[in-house]
């Protein structure tokens, strides 16, 4: 696996290094030793999957607050997405900045999202499936988010937004979030 540091401190794109032959390919997407060798979290407590049927759907931007703040490792297993993270760590020099990555079933890349980041994505195809590793179990009292179209953050979504949940439409702006403890 290749661990590529992103523009936001602590975040990485993780690329598999597939071995190909006449049968197809084989690639490792997770190894506790390889993650530990670059100082990344490697004891996942929960795995989830999401499926989105419609191109242009935005899910997010979500995070959990302390003491249930979570690290995420995610991969698009079917279809294609524009995956976005936003640094919410108030002491960080990149506070309020965002980073986007194309994740799809062909590149098999993953995104490693540290604590203190909001995460969301936009589907670029119909019938998208996402697979998530989480360092914490889901905790409803600690779930929170950031509105997808905050003008201060100014995420450049690649296509027209076609679908959002009621919950995601009601999320606060960055200026209205209380400081994030990690």
Which member of 62, 119, 134, 144 is catalytic?
Answer: 62
Catalytic pick from 99, 112, 132, 144?
A: 132
Catalytic status, residue 144: no
Distance, in Å, from the CA atom of 181 to the CA atom of 89, rounded to the nearest integer, reads 8
- Gyration radius of the chain's alpha carbons: 16
Note if 95 is an active site residue: no
Reduce the secondary structure of 47-105 to three states and give it as a string: EEEEEECCCCEEEEEEEECCCCCCCEEEEEEECEEEEEEEECCCCCCCCCCEEEEEEEC
| Nearest-10 Cα torsion for 69, 166, 179, 38 | 40
- Euclidean distance between the first and final Cα of the chain, in Å? 27
Active site residues: 62, 132
């Amino acid at each position: 696996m290749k661990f590529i540091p992103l523009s936001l401190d602590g975040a990485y794109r993780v690329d598999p290094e597939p071995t190909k032959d006449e049968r197809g390919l084989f690639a490792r997407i997770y190894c506790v030793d390889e993650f530990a060798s670059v100082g990344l979290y490697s004891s996942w407590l929960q795995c989830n999957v999401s499926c989105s049927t419609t191109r242009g759907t935005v899910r997010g931007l979500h995070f959990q607050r302390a003491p249930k703040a979570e690290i995420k490792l995610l991969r698009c297993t079917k279809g294609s997405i524009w995956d976005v993270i936003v640094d919410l760590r108030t002491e960080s020099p990149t506070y309020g900045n965002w980073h986007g990555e194309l994740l799809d079933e062909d590149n098999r890349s993953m995104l490693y999202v540290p604590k203190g980041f909001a995460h969301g994505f936009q589907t670029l195809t119909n019938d998208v499936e996402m697979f998530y590793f989480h360092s914490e179990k889901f905790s409803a009292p600690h779930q929170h988010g950031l509105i997808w179209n905050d003008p201060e953050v100014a995420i450049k979504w690649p296509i027209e937004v076609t679908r959002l949940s009621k919950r995601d439409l009601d999320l606060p702006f960055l200026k209205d979030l209380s400081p994030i403890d990690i």
